[in-house]
Amino acid sequence: MNCYLLLPFMLGIPLLWPCLGATENSQTKKVQLPVGSHLRVKRGWVWNQFFVPEEMNTTSHHVGRLRSDLDNGNNSFQYKLLGAGAGSTFIIDERTGDIYAIQKLDREERSLYILRAQVIDITTGRAVEPESEFVIKVSDINDNEPKFLDEPYEAIVPEMSPEGVIRISSKMDRELQDEYWVIIQAKDMIGQPGALSGTTSVLIKLSDVNDNKPIFKESLYRLTVSESAPTGTSIGTIMAYDNDIGENAEMDYSIEEDDSQTFDIITNHETQEGIVILKKKVNFEHQNHYGIRAKVKNHHVDEQLMKYHTEASTTFIKIQVEDVDEPPLFLLPYYIFEIFEETPQGSFVGVVSATDPDNRKSPIRYSVTRSKVFNIDDNGTITTTNSLDREISAWYNLSITATEKYNIEQISSIPVYVQVLNINDHAPEFSQYYESYVCENAGSGQVIQTISAVDRDESIEEHHFYFNLSVEDTNSSSFTIIDNQDNTAVILTNRTSFNLEEEPIFYISILIADNGIPSLTSTNTLTIHVCDCDDSGSTQTCQYQELMLSMGFKTEVIIAILICIMVIFGFIFLTLGLKQRRKQILFPEKSEDFRENIFRYDDEGGGEEDTEAFDVAALRSSTIMRERKTRKTTSAEIRSLYRQSLQVGPDSAIFRKFILEKLEEADTDPCAPPFDSLQTYAFEGTGSLAGSLSSLESAVSDQDESYDYLNELGPRFKRLACMFGSAVQSNN
């Protein structure tokens, strides 16, 4: 089928487009008449392949003729039509063999009929020839207009597309308009007369291509970062915009200019933002501002679209460093010092130094933690407080703390390692305690003991010890020594036979020298016991006896210690028991409930002001008025008044006895304070002979009173007598 679509509007020029969805019904129908039929001779038959046009307007339409080559035209043959459609759709003239279509044919319903034909002799009634098949094909005519099956149609065309199937008048930009609606018309028969047409609507969407580069809207960004911020800290974001969509709008941010290599930019692929992060720590005092340039580009760019992305968009970022109060900074991350052992107290160890990195440069105070062996001054000088011994501790791990004086909350600490260097201050000595034995019948040159030595000092090279006998033992010793030159030596007998009764024990002085600088020598005593050995010359029996003797001695010591402990505990228990008994004798009636009710009044008489706080008339109506009494009483009178005051109290022998005991204790207490004190144990009742103690209603002045009677009360009142006697004399 030849057809084209005509778009007479919208785009301004015709667009040629294949018929989308047009069916076969829109093909141009061609009728092939019998003139062009295929002729074939078969067994005397002349049969045809017939073509008949559809949409016949007549009631009968001649299709073609069947004829046998035996037919001489005398009408003696009869033609019959058999098969599907025979008699209903097609009929045959029995005399002439002409075939007619008697119904309207539709090629779209059935385009092919297969029939059979037979020729019979009328006179005999027999078939002249066997049956033969032939085909009738229905040819197509233009009876259907073009149809679009799946309308409405939607097509996606890349923007900026070159001419192709759709011809466009100019380049289209998706960012300006991304959809177009067009009307499509389809015509068959290439516009010839009698052609049919159909129309449909097509939505054309422009797909995005990466023809726009990302652009920064801001040419300058201002960010801040604290100098205390750790590396990796996000200090701000920047953002570019891209008119494209989807993956064409994905961006990559990067640093274009940063000589300090202090910052970096990473891309957030979800928000398409650039995150500025801290790559290295900053220092306000070293540099307080930075300037960097960032650029952005698309992540996906086709090669043919690189012309739109030749120059990347950039922006400038200014970063201001914020100052914070920083702790002191040591010059080194740690310190290692060395000092020889046995140096005197206050010896110099080393110097640490820390400074305030801030502009104000605060003075620094140093301190040592976790050590009592070293001290540090405000200059950072470390000294020793005691003499050091490498054999006790070869290394000291200190923690030095630096604190700003202007802000004591700013503190820094560093480790300080002090190595104590060795000096040869320890002489070698026996590696263990030796118990040596020699038999009475031992011969000369017999090995008695093998000895070795140790040295607590550290040697730069391997230790080497030298063994010798003292001068005295060398001249008159019964034993000799041989140095094995491997830090061991052997003791040998220097004579034959020993006497257990005359010389049961020998003490040999052995000199051991080291290879230190300077060399040190020690004298070590080796004890050798003479043993009554058996015939075999074994010293095991002697060793067993010594072991039992030592064990017996230890048992006696342990028993003596236990006895001493028991005596001490017995004495302690006896002392505690006596004290407890004494307490019971002093307080036999301790179970009684003694209480003292003390009421304290801080109000002091104030003359006329008392009339505002007290009812003076009520006070004056007291039954007993204070009378002027001369204080020239004797101690006996005081005691008499004291006894009378006891009588007016509660009639309790226990309470009275308690008061008397307290008075006696106060009089005879040698540990009493040097000043006078008042202890009150009785109460004042109605009609007390002591009179009122209030200063109210005092009609007579006490200036003429004499206090000489205080001298008669004993040494406890001597100080009061001096004080009041001096006061009276000064007033007079």
Q: The sheet that has 39-42: what strands, in order across it?
A: 39-42, 45-48, 67-68
3-state secondary structure 656-725: HHHHHHHHHHHHHCCCCCCCCCCCCCCCCCCCCCCCCCCCCCCCCCCCCCCCHHHHHHCHHHHHHHHHHH
The dihedrals phi and psi of 619, each to the nearest 5 degrees, come to -65, -35
Q: What is the pLDDT of residue 544?
A: 55
- Residue 86 is classified by DSSP as B
Q: Confidence class of residue 543 from pLDDT cuts 50, 70 and 90?
A: low
> Which range (75-79, 323-327, 596-600, 649-653) has the least confidence?
596-600
Query: Which residues lie below 8 Å from residue 94, measured CB to CB, with a gap of 6+?
Result: 78, 79, 80
> Which range (328-332, 392-396, 630-634) has the least confidence?
630-634
Terminal CA-CA length for the chain: 159
State the greatest distance between any 2 C-alpha atoms of the chain, in Å, as a whole number: 204
CA angle in degrees (0–180, nearest 5) for 103-108-112:
65
Nearest CA among 528, 506, 392, 521 for reference residue 447: 528
More confident residue, 229 or 67: 229
Q: What are the structural domains, with CATH classification, of the chain?
A: 50-139 (2.60.40.60), 153-207 (no CATH), 215-322 (2.60.40.60), 329-421 (2.60.40.60), 429-549 (2.60.40.60)
| Average pLDDT of the segment spanning 238-242 | 92
Whether the predicted pLDDT of 511 surpasses 70: yes
Whether the predicted pLDDT of 110 surpasses 50: yes
Q: What is the pLDDT of residue 680?
A: 67
Q: Which residue has the tokens 């080194």?
A: 332
CA distance 416 to 572: 52
> Which range (183-187, 240-244, 340-344, 617-621) has the least confidence?
617-621
Nearest CA among 134, 160, 133 for reference residue 63: 134
Q: What is the pLDDT of residue 178?
A: 79
Whether the predicted pLDDT of 34 surpasses 50: no
- Residue 612 is classified by DSSP as H
Instruction: List 511's β-bridge partners, or say none.
Output: 468, 523
- Residue 559 is classified by DSSP as H
H/E segment holding residue 41: strand 39-42
Q: Confidence class of residue 629 from pLDDT cuts 50, 70 and 90?
A: very low
| Average pLDDT of the segment spanning 192-208 | 80
- Residue 26 is classified by DSSP as G
CA distance 252 to 266: 8
Q: What is the pLDDT of residue 330?
A: 94
Q: What is the pLDDT of residue 57?
A: 55
**What secondary structure does DSSP assign to 331-355, as a single string?**
SSS-EEEEEETTPPTT-EEEE--EE
Cut 0.85: pTM above it: no
Q: What is the pLDDT of residue 306?
A: 84
Q: What is the pLDDT of residue 54?
A: 59
Asked if 300 and 381 touch (Cβ cutoff 8 Å), the reply is no
Q: Hey, which of 8-22, 425-439, 579-593, 681-695 has the most confident mean pLDDT?
A: 425-439
**What secondary structure does DSSP assign to 631-651, as a single string?**
----HHHHHHHHHHHHHTS--
Q: What is the pLDDT of residue 453?
A: 92
pLDDT digits (tens, 9 = 90+) for 652-684: 677 677 778 877 777 777 766 666 667 666 544
* 56-95 b/e (C-beta count within 10 Å ≥ 16 → b): beeeebebbbbbbeebeeeeebbbbbebebbeebbbbebe
Q: Work out the percent of the chain whose per-residue pLDDT is above 70.
A: 71
| Average pLDDT of the segment spanning 557-565 | 89
Asked if 146 and 28 touch (Cβ cutoff 8 Å), the reply is no
Write out the two tokens for 498: 């020993």
Residues in the chain: 732
Q: What is the pLDDT of residue 627?
A: 42
Asked if 344 and 336 touch (Cβ cutoff 8 Å), the reply is no
What mean pLDDT value characterizes the chain?
76
pLDDT digits (tens, 9 = 90+) for 382-427: 999 998 988 888 899 999 999 999 888 899 999 999 999 888 778 8
Q: Which residue has the tokens 């009041």?
A: 724
Q: Confidence class of residue 318 from pLDDT cuts 50, 70 and 90?
A: very high
92 SS3 class: strand
> Which range (121-135, 358-372, 474-488, 572-586) has the least confidence?
572-586
Whether the predicted pLDDT of 372 surpasses 90: no
Whether the predicted pLDDT of 611 surpasses 80: no
H/E segment holding residue 402: strand 395-404
Nearest CA among 274, 205, 212 for reference residue 244: 212
Q: What is the pLDDT of residue 383?
A: 94
Q: Hey, which of 127-141, 299-313, 392-406 has the most confident mean pLDDT?
A: 392-406
Q: What is the pLDDT of residue 192?
A: 73
| Average pLDDT of the segment spanning 12-21 | 34
The dihedrals phi and psi of 404, each to the nearest 5 degrees, come to -75, 135
Q: Hey, which of 168-177, 196-205, 569-578 has the most confident mean pLDDT?
A: 569-578
Whether the predicted pLDDT of 366 surpasses 90: yes
More confident residue, 696 or 54: 54
Instruction: List 351's β-bridge partners, or say none.
Output: 381
Q: What is the pLDDT of residue 537?
A: 61
Q: Indicate the Cα dihedral angle 647, 653, 657, 663, nearest 10°.
A: -20
Q: What is the pLDDT of residue 652?
A: 61
Instruction: List 329's β-bridge partners, or say none.
Output: 355
CA angle in degrees (0–180, nearest 5) for 528-532-536:
105
Whether the predicted pLDDT of 642 surpasses 50: no
Query: Which residues lie below 8 Å from residue 655, measured CB to CB, with a gap of 6+?
Result: 594, 649
Whether the predicted pLDDT of 243 surpasses 60: yes
Q: Confidence class of residue 97 from pLDDT cuts 50, 70 and 90?
A: confident
209 SS3 class: coil
Asked if 202 and 155 touch (Cβ cutoff 8 Å), the reply is yes
Asked if 14 and 166 touch (Cβ cutoff 8 Å), the reply is no
| Average pLDDT of the segment spanning 323-349 | 91
| Average pLDDT of the segment spanning 573-586 | 77
H/E segment holding residue 579: helix 540-586
CA distances for 19 relative to 3, 107, 166, angstroms: 7, 22, 13
Whether the predicted pLDDT of 696 surpasses 60: no
Nearest CA among 243, 248, 233, 258 for reference residue 314: 258
Asked if 396 and 374 touch (Cβ cutoff 8 Å), the reply is yes
Q: What is the pLDDT of residue 671?
A: 67
Q: The sheet that has 263-268: what strands, in order across it?
A: 215-216, 234-241, 273-278, 263-268
Nearest CA among 382, 419, 420, 386 for reference residue 400: 382
Q: What is the pLDDT of residue 208?
A: 79
Write out the two tokens for 596: 């003292």
Q: Confidence class of residue 319 from pLDDT cuts 50, 70 and 90?
A: very high
Nearest CA among 287, 236, 283 for reference residue 264: 236
CA distance 113 to 136: 5
pLDDT digits (tens, 9 = 90+) for 431-460: 898 989 999 888 888 899 999 999 887 776
Whether the predicted pLDDT of 613 surpasses 50: no
CA distance 1 to 23: 10
Q: What is the pLDDT of residue 290?
A: 94
Asked if 139 and 54 touch (Cβ cutoff 8 Å), the reply is yes
Q: Which residue has the tokens 């294949």?
A: 18
43 Ramachandran zone, left/alpha/beta (phi>0; psi -120 to 50): left
Q: What is the pLDDT of residue 174?
A: 75
| Average pLDDT of the segment spanning 555-560 | 81
Asked if 437 and 542 touch (Cβ cutoff 8 Å), the reply is yes
Q: Confidence class of residue 564 from pLDDT cuts 50, 70 and 90?
A: very high
CA distance 549 to 529: 14
Q: Omega of the bond prior to 518 within 30 degrees of 0, cis? A: yes
Q: What is the pLDDT of residue 315?
A: 94
Q: Indicate the Cα dihedral angle 575, 580, 585, 587, nearest 10°.
A: 140
Q: Which amino acid is at 488?
A: T
Q: What is the pLDDT of residue 58?
A: 56
Q: Hey, which of 159-168, 273-282, 719-728 has the most confident mean pLDDT?
A: 273-282
